[in-house]
Structure formats: structure tokens, C-alpha cells
Amino acid sequence: MSTESWVPKTLAVSCPHERGHISDSAFYGHCYGTETSRRIFCDICRYQRWLDVEAALAIVQGEVGLLPEDVGRAIADAAHVENLDLTAVRRSIRESGHSLVGLLRAFQDVCPGKSGQYVHYGATTQDIQDTAQSLEMRNVLDELDRLLRLSVTSLVSLAERHGSALALGRTHAQPAVPLTVGVKIAGWIGEILRHAERTSAMRSRVLAVQIFGAAGTMAGFDTKGLEILDRLAARLGLTAPTTAWHVARDRVAEFVSTLAMVAATMGRITDEIRLLSRPEIGEVEERWHHGAIGSSTMPHKRNPEVCEQVVALSRLATGLVGPALLAMGGDGERDARALRIEWACIPDISHYCLAACEMTSTVLARLQVNRARLRANLEAASDQIASEKLMLALADRLGKQTAYDRLYEVIARARENDRAVRDELLADPELGRILDTNELDRIFDPVNHLGASEQVTQRVIAAATSWLDGQPLTVAMPRHRTMFASTKDVGL
């Protein structure tokens, strides 16, 4: 037997070591990002976006007469990343320590005639990168809108097919009162619709041009700065802000925070699906397909893998809010500390959020609802879920608080004696005479204690359908009068 110790083999020198982030993994990247998110934040596509901003700026500067108009067009015609020597760009970044100069030099080299001398005229690096970053965030929001619509479409379909089915309402992981499946689904839909409203409303705030020059004064644009700003914003489809936002990073913080909230919602929905799919509950299930493997040692396992991954993504996403808020702490007129944080935060939150939304839409599209288990679980908890309606029926005779106290004691005795609440109630000398058998039958039938379940479900479905049809979500809140004449009346 050899006594030689085993040592790990060194990687072949042919490995280029190009992938170091989990979202870029050739094997696991699909679990942490999407094809769209990787396309948006691809190095080459990002460089093309920077060139697009430089091209748009040159065209606008030609339109306002800051540059010869034919020069602006020549710059724009040359603004194709495949024209550039990217190896030289990479080398220049390492040597200069600057994130854009290498690209600008390579770009200038491919511009015809003397037009390259006018590239990046009057702008600063952050102007180009922030504006391109706004274009990236817009692409993310466009894809997010598409994915939210997929989830809402599936949820509306589920509500229409299973919304009337009775289910056990649970609070604090314990039986509460009966509800319909539609009410639970409506809660999911309502939260997603609020995110759709948030992401729509924030576009005009977040997706802004940054073209203010070295210190926010536009001095490099002579007297044409504001005109260039407005024209560039219109050309790129972005907002023209009132002032520079080189260090005012609330836009990015709002973007990251909102996407984290969206991911958290997807985590909540899929985590509840995971919980309700436990065999002892069994009310819903991710559709299984032959070939899916839950365990390398237990062939029977059908784990809710996608739901678990969405929860993991939601937790990763929420962890990025803190760094994004820290990036708001810049000083002076420009501060690279914020940018270096954002360059990590924005791609990561986008990968995680879009992946969570894509996976959730897949789960919802093939979610199976087990009506038989819904009924069985409801019947198993019939004693408990009737307590509110039973108390209210007794309250008509005894008063609400007295009825609550008396019923509390009855339920406690029933549990101690391992008896049904109904039997314990009928055995009570006083309470047993208050409600007759027919009334008790009605009270213990869960269909009679659903409240506005149907109306709530239909109202949310109507709102979702309207949004899917392209109608805005914003609803004006009704005006109301305060009960106080002024703040003096409440001691303020």
C-alpha cells in the first residue's frame, strides 16, 4: 500500500479563469441570474453602452453647434465596440488605474480623421458611466415588469380556478379562521401590484442623465450645457435632472432597495408554497418532472428546490440594501467610493431579483393545488376555526367580552378532556341552552364564516386584469376630514 499522500491536482494552464462570480458560473449561474441579467451586465455590452452615450453626446453637441455636426456623426458612426482593441483597453486600465481612459483612447484611434479629438468633449468619466448605468437600470426594470406580469397572470389563473376552494387560515403557524384560496392568492397579487406601481413611479426619478461635467457646473459645454442636457435626455429616453447627482446617490439607493423588496416578496410567496407543500400539510406542490432529483441518497425525495432557491436569492438581495445606502455618503462634488460600491450592488441586485422573479413565475405557472388536502386540513381544525363565530353568536346574548371569557374556559376544558368543543359547550349548564343544534351546525360550517373573501378576491383580480391590460395602478385616495380642528387640539 502506498504511503504517498494524495494532493489535489493543479488546474491545467489552459484554464483562462474567466468566471469568478456565482452568477457567471457555467454550471450554476442559472440559479443566481438570468440570461437577460447577464446580457445587461456583460463587460462587452457595458462598453457598448458607454460608447452609445459618447455617440449620443457627440450628436447632440453637433446639433447645438458646440462641435461641427459632421464630427458628431463621424464619432457616432465609429461607436461600435467590435472596432476597438479590447486587449489594449484592458492593459490601459491596469496601467492607468482609470476606468474609462483606456476605452476613450481606443475609441479615439478608430474615429475617422480628426473627429477622435472631439470624443468626450466637456464631459467627465462619471457623466458617461452614470448615464449608461441609468440605461442598464432601465433594461432591468423593463425585464422586471415582464416577469411580474408573468407571475400575476399565473396567479390570476390560479385564483379563477381555485379561488372559491375553502382553506385553513393560519396565524402564527396555528389555525385561525377559514378563508378561501382566493384570499391567499389575492394577498400575493396585491403585493406584486404594489411593486409594479413602485417600479413604474420611480422610473422618472431614478433613470436620469448625468452630463454635468467635472464639478456639476457644465463649464466644459460653454453656454449650451442645459440644452445639451435636455437634448441628450430626450435622445436616450431618460429624465433630465435639475442638478448633478455625482454624489447624490439616492437614485441608486432607491433602485437597489426597491428590487430588494421585490425579491423579498418572491421569497415570501415561495417560502409559503414550500411550507404548504410539506407532506403533513400537502395543500400545494411544485409540479414534479421525471428526471428531477431531490437527494443523492434518498430516491423518494421531491424537494421544493426552486422555492428554496428563491428564498436564498431574496436573502442575498436584501443584504445589498445596506451597502447601497452606505454609497449615499459621498462628499464634495464627486467621490469614487460610492461608485465602486454601486458597481457591485447594481449588477448583483439585478441578477438576484430577476432570477427570483423568473423562478417564482415558473413555480406559479405549474403550481398544483390539492383540494382534497385543503378540505381534510380544514376539517381537522374545525373546532378551532369556529371559535370566533361561536363567540360572536354568544356575544349577542352575553356581551362580547363575557362570551369570550366563557368560551375560553370551555375550549380549555375541551382540550384537557380531549373532547370536541361542541360537545363541551353543550355540556355546559348555561351555554348549552343558548344555542340550539341547528345554529351550532351553521356556526361550525366554515362556509358561513368567510366574510368578504369572495369580494376581496374579485376586487384584486379586477385590479390585476386592468394592469395586465395596460391601465395604470395609481388610485387616488379619498379625501377625509380630521376629527380635530387643528394640531392644537391634540397638544401638538
Residue from 222, 246, 227 nearest 131 by CA: 246
**Residue-wise over 447-468: b if at least 16 C-beta within 10 A, else e?**
eebbeebeebbbebbebbeebe
- Answer whether residue 164 shows pLDDT above 60: yes
Nearest to 33 by CA among 244, 262, 347, 299: 347
Strands (E), 188-309: 284-286
Q: Which grid cell is 84? A: 476597438
Whether pLDDT at 491 is above 50: no
Nearest CA among 412, 451, 443 for reference residue 428: 412
pLDDT-based confidence at residue 492 (cuts at 50, 70, 90): very low
Question: Smallest Cα–Cα separation from 340: which of 57, 97, 20?
Answer: 97
Q: Are residues 72 and 53 in the same domain?
A: yes
Q: What percent of the chain is predicted at pLDDT more than 90? A: 70
Residue 10 lies in a domain: no
Kindly report the backbone phi and psi dihedral angles of residue 175, in degrees, each rounded to the nearest multiple of 5, phi listed first: -55, 140
Whether 160 is in a domain gets the answer: yes
Residue 307 lies in a domain: yes
pLDDT single digits (tens) 64-75: 999 998 999 999
Indicate whether 415 and 339 sit together in one domain. Answer: no
CB 247: neighbour CB atoms within 10 A? 19
Quick check: is 461 in a domain? no
* CB distance 464 to 190 below 8 Å: no
Q: What is the pLDDT of residues 268-280, one digit of tens each?
A: 999 999 999 999 9
- Count CA within 13 A, CB hemisphere, residue 91: 7
Tell me the C-alpha distance between 260 and 268, whole Å.
12
Report whether pLDDT(8) > 70: no
Rg (CA), the chain: 31
Residue 277 and residue 263 share a domain: yes
| Three cell numbers, residue 319 | 443584504
Q: Is 397 in the same domain as 310?
A: no
Q: Is 365 a member of any domain?
A: yes
The residue to which cell 428531477 is assigned: 292
Is residue 94 located within the same domain as residue 106? yes
pLDDT tier at 248 (50, 70, 90 boundaries)?
Answer: very high
Q: Grid coordinates standing for 213?
A: 461635467
What's the pTM?
0.90
Per-residue confidence (pLDDT) for residue 257, from 0 to 100? 97
Are residue 352 and residue 398 in the same domain, yes or no?
no
CA-CA distance, 431 to 212, in Å (whole number)?
78
> Would you state the cell numbers that stand for residue 379, as one nine-digit string?
376539517
Q: Which of 377, 411, 439 is the last residue of a domain?
A: 377
Give the pLDDT of residue 17: 75
Query: What local confidence, expressed as pLDDT, does residue 354 receive?
Result: 97
Give the 3-state secondary structure of residue 35.
helix
User: For residue 102, what is the domain's CATH number?
Assistant: 1.10.275.10
Considering only 163-172, 287-296, 350-359, which range has the smallest mean pLDDT? 287-296
The answer to whether position 259 is within a domain reads yes
What DSSP letter does each residue of 75-94 carry, written as one string?
Answer: HHHH--GGGS-HHHHHHHHH
Residues 227 and 314 in one domain: no
Instruction: State whether 202 and 317 are in the same domain.
Output: yes
102 plus 200 within the same structural domain: no
Q: Of the candidates 238, 164, 156, 161, which has an alpha carbon nearest to the alpha carbon of residue 205? A: 238
Residue 2 counted as domain residue: no
Give the model confidence (pLDDT) of 176-232 as tens digits. Answer: 999 999 999 999 999 999 999 999 999 999 999 999 998 999 999 999 999 999 999
Same domain, 249 and 352: yes
The per-residue pLDDT for 196 is 97
Contact partners, residue 241, CB within 8 Å, separation at least 6:
208, 209, 210
Quick: pLDDT tens for 436-487: 889 999 999 999 999 999 999 999 999 999 999 988 775 444 444 444 444 4
- Domain membership flag for residue 279: yes
**Domain extent at residue 109:** 25-123+215-241
Number of domains in the chain: 3
Of the residues 351, 377, 403, the one at which a domain ends? 377
The residue annotated as part of the active site, out of 5, 14, 17, 172, is 172
339 and 404 co-located in one domain: no
For residue 118, the 8-state DSSP code is G
Residue 94 CB neighbours (<10 A): 9
Query: Cα–Cα distance between 276 and 195 in angstroms, integer?
Result: 24
End position of a domain, from candidates 377, 400, 419: 377
Residue 246 annotated as catalytic: no
Q: What is the pLDDT of residues 19-58, one digit of tens each?
A: 778 888 888 878 888 999 999 999 999 999 999 999 999 9
What's the average model confidence in pLDDT over 404-413?
92
Is residue 229 domain-shared with residue 354, that is, in the same domain?
no
The CATH number of residue 370's host domain is 1.20.200.10
Q: Is 295 a catalytic residue?
A: yes
Q: List C-alpha distances in Å: 463 to 188, 472, 474, 477.
A: 13, 10, 10, 15
Residue type, 245: W
CB 353 within 8 Å of CB 262: yes
| Cα–Cα distance measured from residue 487 to residue 63, given in angstroms and rounded to the nearest whole number | 55
Q: What is the mean pLDDT of residues 71-90?
A: 92
